[in-house]
Amino acid sequence: MTAPRLGGYVLLAVAGVLVGTAGALVQGAWFPGGLLLALLAVVGLCYGGVKVMGARMGGGVPAGAWTVAVLLLTSARPEGDFLFGAGLGSYAFLLGGMFLGVMCATLPLVPQPPGPPVRLGK
């Protein structure tokens, strides 16, 4: 693995943490628009990572970083405060984000055949 490629994966991981943190704040503040915005950000980051890196790992790295960040944000602090409320929106964000991240990371990469863009055999 080359240094620029490794740097790209590190940037995708940092972006996954940032998207997870921002989504956790937005999804509860502007329900249901914030929830949709947060889930679209997860899809955009993971699918964009696949396309930019040209590999499925480009979607898996930000999805994994997003999941770790969001799961750490769900834990209660010693003071009793926590970021997520017990509501449908929070569960939709947690489960929907994980589902969409995995879905984007496992999309098949189908290479296009070389040659002119016409039907074969015609």
Question: What is the CA angle 96-57-100, rounded to 5?
Answer: 10
pLDDT score at 93: 87
Reported pTM = 0.82
Q: Note down the domain range covering 66.
A: 1-75+83-105
Amino acid identity, residue 90? Answer: S
Tell me which of 111 and 27 has the higher pLDDT.
27
Cβ partners under 8 Å of residue 106, min gap 6: 56, 59
Cβ partners under 8 Å of residue 22, min gap 6: 38, 41
pLDDT score at 32: 85
- Domain assignment present for residue 115? The answer is no
Q: Under a CB-based contact definition with an 8 Å cutoff, are residues 36 and 44 in contact? A: no
Percentage of the chain beyond pLDDT 90 is 39
The average confidence (pLDDT) of the chain is 85
Encoding tokens for residue 71? 């799961």
Asked which of 13-22, 65-74, 75-84, 101-110 is least confident by mean pLDDT, the reply is 75-84
pLDDT score at 99: 92
- Domain assignment present for residue 58? The answer is yes
pLDDT at 118 > cutoff 90: no
* pLDDT tens, position by position, 9-30: 999 999 999 999 998 888 877 7
- Domain assignment present for residue 49? The answer is yes
Q: How many domains does the chain have?
A: 1
Q: Among all chains, which residue has been given the structure tokens 């590999």?
A: 55
- Domain assignment present for residue 14? The answer is yes
- Domain assignment present for residue 38? The answer is yes
- Domain assignment present for residue 18? The answer is yes
